[in-house]
A and B are shown apart, each in its own frame.
Chain A
């Protein structure tokens, strides 16, 4: 069946360093969504990417959708302690929604 893997599983950075998480699907996706879940909280929608090769920015966050629509990345520039949490990608394909395995980001002040 379809799988959505994220790497790394865990990343520990110093505040101010950059961070990137990668999302890889075993099948082509019609779109991809990114969510952030703070410890003890629920996932919060960040962004949706639909077009092949699409790049979107939200302040220090840059999201990219691969040309083949099978992978995506989230890059955070100059991390802050407020960026702490688990970042999930979620891919849509033929009405099937699957969450990635998630990347837990820890930021040390």
Chain B
């Protein structure tokens, strides 16, 4: 149980392109979804917290207009990196919980984004 699917797993695109990443909870309803960014050999940096049907809460320093998050249903959240540039290249991971923020997180496989 508690499977989270993230798609795509790998993206390579030109600078200026917008990229959408999907995160789906396959066998449970995800009340809350989280989006992280991870640089090589570093910890996970929380970008934003997304609750179904409401606006995402962004962490300090994360541009809302750059990283658009939509959580339209209890099983799907999307992260769109708008007008991506090489500095946006990173490993993006989503996670989901089925209840309160005290519940363990279940992670997707992550998306490796490379902007040329």
Seen from chain A, the residues whose Cβ lies within 8 Å of a Cβ on chain B are: 30-31, 33, 35, 41-45, 48, 50, 88, 90, 92, 95, 97-102, 104
Check B93 for interface membership: any CB of A closer than 8 A: yes
A90, A95, A104: the one contacting B105 at CB < 8 Å is A90
By the criterion CB–CB under 8 Å, are B102 and A92 in contact? yes
Within 8 Å CB of B106, what residues of A?
A: 45
Number of interface residues of B (CB under 8 A): 19
Q: A31-B102, A92-B102 are in contact. Are A41 and B109 (CB under 8 A)?
A: yes
For A50, A97, A100, the residue with the greatest tally of chain B CB atoms inside 10 Å of its CB is A97
Within 8 Å CB of A45, what residues of B?
A: 104-107
When chains A and B are docked, how far (Å) is the Cα of A31 from the Cα of B102? 7
By the criterion CB–CB under 8 Å, are B102 and A42 in contact? no
Q: A31-B102, A42-B109, A42-B110 are in contact. Are A97 and B46 (CB under 8 A)?
A: yes
How many Å from the CB of A97 to the closest CB on chain B? 6
A30, A43, A102: the one contacting B102 at CB < 8 Å is A30
Among residues of B, the one whose C-beta sits closest to the C-beta of A34 is B104
When chains A and B are docked, how far (Å) is the Cα of A88 from the Cα of B44? 9
Check B108 for interface membership: any CB of A closer than 8 A: yes
By the criterion CB–CB under 8 Å, are A99 and B44 in contact? yes
A43-B95, A45-B104, A48-B104 are known contacts; what are 19 more A-B pairs with Cβ within 8 Å? A30-B102, A31-B102, A42-B107, A42-B108, A43-B44, A43-B105, A45-B105, A45-B106, A88-B43, A88-B44, A90-B105, A92-B101, A92-B102, A97-B34, A97-B46, A99-B43, A99-B46, A102-B42, A104-B41
